Amino acid sequence: MATTKNLWAIGACSTFAIAAICLSGLNGATAEAAAKAGTAAADPNYPKVDLPPVWDAAGKLVQPKNFRDWYFLGAPVTPHGLNNGKAPFPEFHNVYVQRSALAVYRATGKWPEGTMMVKELQLLGGKAEFPDGSHFEPSGRGYFPGAVNGLDVAVKDSKRFGASKNWGYFNFNHAPPPYLPAAAEKPIAECAGCHIANADEDMVYISHYRSIINPLPGN
């Protein structure tokens, strides 16, 4: 009888145009090829996520593809105008997670191995009319999204990132696209340290996403 795991693998393989990727297993090269093709290979290290993190031969995280199709968790915004002109991330922080990882979180309250939190930065749009950087739109005075300007990713993997509470942090540039094709883990002092010290739950600032993390009741 086929196990659930086998069925998962069969399902993943059936989506591939190139059967060779299925047959050759998951070495770095084929995984990277799958990521480039916009598909993802099921990975035994991450049995609960369908779009797993992909590592290149140097151990860098390959830029996740099509993350804008994932589940959108929210968009905190910390503009310069409210931070003495010195906000480290003056953009909207658009946060996405794989739908499969979210399904596990909803069912168990835990992010599975291979969860990726993707944060794409989006600058304020329009011309600032006030010292705080805000301007008027027909809907009112506020902050409105403009051009995208950077990509950060956090990956849960207890084997790789046990030293930083099971999550590794990656920056694919703080600049307009194209973002870097792959990124090395950032030192703990640059990223993980603040998440260790301050995040609400399992390194994630979940309180910002809580109110839209479940389907709207009645849907």
Residues of this chain that interact with ligand HEC (CB under 6 A) are 76, 78, 93, 95, 117, 119, 152-154, 169-171, 186, 190-191, 194-195, 199, 204-205, 208
Taking the least distance from each CB to ligand HEC, the nearer of 129 and 190 is 190
Taking the least distance from each CB to ligand HEC, the nearer of 48 and 119 is 119
Taking the least distance from each CB to ligand HEC, the nearer of 25 and 59 is 59
Rounded distance between C-alpha atoms, residue 121 and residue 55, angstroms? 23
Taking the least distance from each CB to ligand HEC, the nearer of 5 and 68 is 68
**Least distance CB 190 / ligand HEC (angstroms):** 5
**Least distance CB 2 / ligand HEC (angstroms):** 36
Bin 165: left if φ > 0, else alpha if -120 < ψ < 50, else beta.
Answer: left
Taking the least distance from each CB to ligand HEC, the nearer of 100 and 171 is 171
**Least distance CB 68 / ligand HEC (angstroms):** 15
**Least distance CB 205 / ligand HEC (angstroms):** 3
**Least distance CB 92 / ligand HEC (angstroms):** 9
Q: Beta partners for 116?
A: 155
DSSP annotation string for 63-130: PPTTGGGSEEEE--B--GGGTTT--SS-SEEEEEE-HHHHHHHHHHSSPPTT-EEEEEEEEE-S---S
Q: Contact 20/69 with Cβ under 8 angstroms?
A: no
Q: Classify residue 34 by burial, with Cβ atoms within 10 Å: 0-12, 13-18, 19+.
A: buried
